[in-house]
Chain A
Amino acid sequence: MILSVRDLKVSFRTDDGIVRAIDGVSFDLAEGEILGVVGESGSGKTVSLLAVMGLITDPNAVIEGSIRYKGRELVGLPASELRLLRGNEIAMIFQDPMTALTPVYTIGWQIAEQIRAHQRISKAAAMKRVEELLAEVNFPNPHEAMSRYPHQLSGGMRQRAVIAMALSCSPALLVADEPTTALDVTVQAGILDLVRKLRATHNSAVVFITHDMGVVSELADRVMVMYAGRIVERGSRQDLFADSLHPYTRALLGSIPPLTGDKPHRLPAIPGSPPSLLRLPKGCAFAPRCPVRYEPCDLGKPALGDGNHAAACFRTAQP
């Protein structure tokens, strides 16, 4: 296992009380595997991966549990040691390529900066490596692109530059936080192809955060569905799409328009909205919106079962 997260809890102290953004998340990731993490905004999918990266800088955040990278515990690791892993072994691609790059430096400079932060190589050698990287992420004219400023590139090109930057030190683990959300559909497809290709060439494990079930069905080996800071279902892609257990997963799948057959007049939507993390119900957090709830749902929180395909639901997942 390259990454092994056990019972991760992240809470934030706020004026209104403690917000538990992540409540007991556990998962494993094998080498070269693509894990899709799905959920609505506020479900904790980004926060849990920021915790893995050690990028939660809020002084009011409390992180508990265990994050092991190649057997090494990351929680409580000094910032200076964490920094050596970041960008080098664990890299991240962010959601919005428009703001993810420093506006006053060329992209070549910014990628070379990362390489030189982790490797002892000359400026010229770093620049040569940058050109190779940009070619690898399909920049039509990599040499010229190096001297471009972020504002001179389109959103798709910027995201390619960010990906090239993330790959610059051949990381063993790549975290992609909704990398296609801010891009239009054709560009999206190109970026997904790129992630697949890079997994093949670098054998990096990828955690792909998204709220788009369509993206997950194309890319992920395994999928983890999150709701209100907890994992509600996990399993292989086939398990999840063919035989989903949790009513939330089913509802998400139901809201994808079908490509064949009769189009529904209106797409089914999930009624209500996600609960506030400050006032979570005593029972299952999804219960207020759940079509199949019954009494036990309001009394206690369902646990996520063991096994490769499991769901946290009293109704559908228990034997």
Chain B
Amino acid sequence: MIYPILRRLAQMLFVMFGISVIVFLIFFATPGADPAARIAGRNASPEVLEAVRHSFGFDRPLYVQYALMMQKIFVTGDLTSFVNRGWKVVPAVLDSIPVTLSLVFGAAVLWVVFSILIGVVAAATRDSWLDKLLMALGLLGISMPVYWVGEVMNLVSQSRYHDTWLFSWVPPLGYVNFSDDPKGWFLALVIPWITLSILYIGIYGRVLRAAIIESMQEDYIRTARAKGLSETRILLRHALRTSLIAFVTLFGLDFGALVGGSALLTEVVFGLQGIGKLTYDALQSLDLPMIMATVMYASMFVVIANAVVDFVYILLDPRVKTS
């Protein structure tokens, strides 16, 4: 058990190293552009340009530049944004992590619980009106763009019906620290969670239904029936259990991508200063150090999420362990 985990960790480090090299080369070694000028921003004075050039080692070989960059991001953490006048990049990224994690974690709980519920109920009542209704709702959820749902949610809960009993509890947009006020944290995030999870409940519910129905055709389900098990037990312990393998694969990819910044639209709509919003703003102002840091961070999360999925896989599917 220990050896595969170590091997997986080594693989992760290798992948992250590869990503950092590629990202570095894209931004700092593209021919025909002076990275110092881009880092310093528009209308920078010659003194600032010179300071940047020296601080990032642009007068030295490429590998030294790479090492300096990594040192600034991971060791000393003093990478500075020149566009935003001396803003420290690493603390800004670290501050945005709990926001994004809170948003994505809560939404993930919602979407796992509800999609399993929908998938199982739809598969169990296959071809009935309930199955058709649930699948139509799922399709509706998939078709609604998240920024539109978010704006409608805001319109309803912040403006039109805010003064009614239904939505008077909704706090103003923005993030509340969990450590400061757990209840405020929860209230501030409920609507973003629902908004973000709708799409995934739709996708996962439909995927799970299909997977369960497929595994209900397998020989081992016939064996389970021949054993005299109840239909509920066959559905949950045999069909659902084997269907979860595909579910987890999908979940790992989506979760990693969301934590890595794909929750951007939700964060922007609800005014949450998460990693997606940070990347978005950095791209708007061409803030090179910030882009570098957020891309590194995002790739790190995708890689970690994939590794976690691999471990869950070993728990879910004993066949993986031996192969």
Contacts and interface: CB of A to CB of B under 8 A. Distances in A.
Contact of B238 (A96, A102, A118): A102
Contacts of B222: 55, 94, 100
Contacts of A85: 228
Contacts of A83: 228-230
**Best-buried of B218, B225, B228, B230 by chain A (most CB within 10 Å):** B228
Interface in B159-218: 218
Contact of A100 (B223, B231, B237, B242): B223
Interface in A67-125: 79, 83-88, 91-92, 94, 96, 99-104, 113-114, 117-118
Interface stretch (B32-40, B101-109, B140-148, B314-322): B314-322
B227 interface: yes
Nearest to B231: A79
Given A101-B220, A102-B220, A103-B242, A87 B319 contact: no
Contacts of A92: 226
Contact of B218 (A87, A99, A149, A152): A99
B227 A114 contact: yes
Interface of B: 218-220, 222-231, 233, 237-238, 241-242, 316-319, 322
Contacts of A94: 219, 222-223, 226
A55 B225 contact: yes
A78 to B, nearest CB: 13
Contacts of B224: 102
Given A99-B218, A100-B220, A104-B318, 15 more contacts: A55-B225, A57-B225, A79-B231, A83-B229, A87-B227, A87-B229, A100-B223, A102-B238, A103-B318, A104-B241, A113-B227, A117-B228, A117-B229, A117-B233, A151-B322
A101 B241 CA distance: 13
B219 A87 contact: no
Contacts of A166: 226
Chain B contact surface mostly: helix
Contacts of B229: 83, 87, 113-114, 117
B174 to A, nearest CB: 44
Contact of A103 (B230, B231, B233, B319): B319
A101 B229 CA distance: 14
Nearest to A109: B237
Given A149-B319, A151-B318, A151-B322, A101 B227 contact: no
A117 B290 CA distance: 60
Contact of B219 (A53, A79, A100, A152): A100
Given A96-B219, A101-B220, A103-B242, A53 B228 contact: no
6 contacts: A86-B225, A99-B220, A100-B223, A103-B242, A104-B242, A149-B318
A59 to B, nearest CB: 9
A86 B318 contact: no
Contacts of B318: 103-104, 149, 151
Nearest to B245: A104
Contact of A55 (B218, B220, B226, B242): B226
A22 interface: no
A77 B223 CA distance: 20
Given A99-B219, A102-B238, A104-B242, A165 B319 contact: no
A173 interface: no
Contacts of B233: 117
A39 B226 CA distance: 23
B242 A102 contact: yes
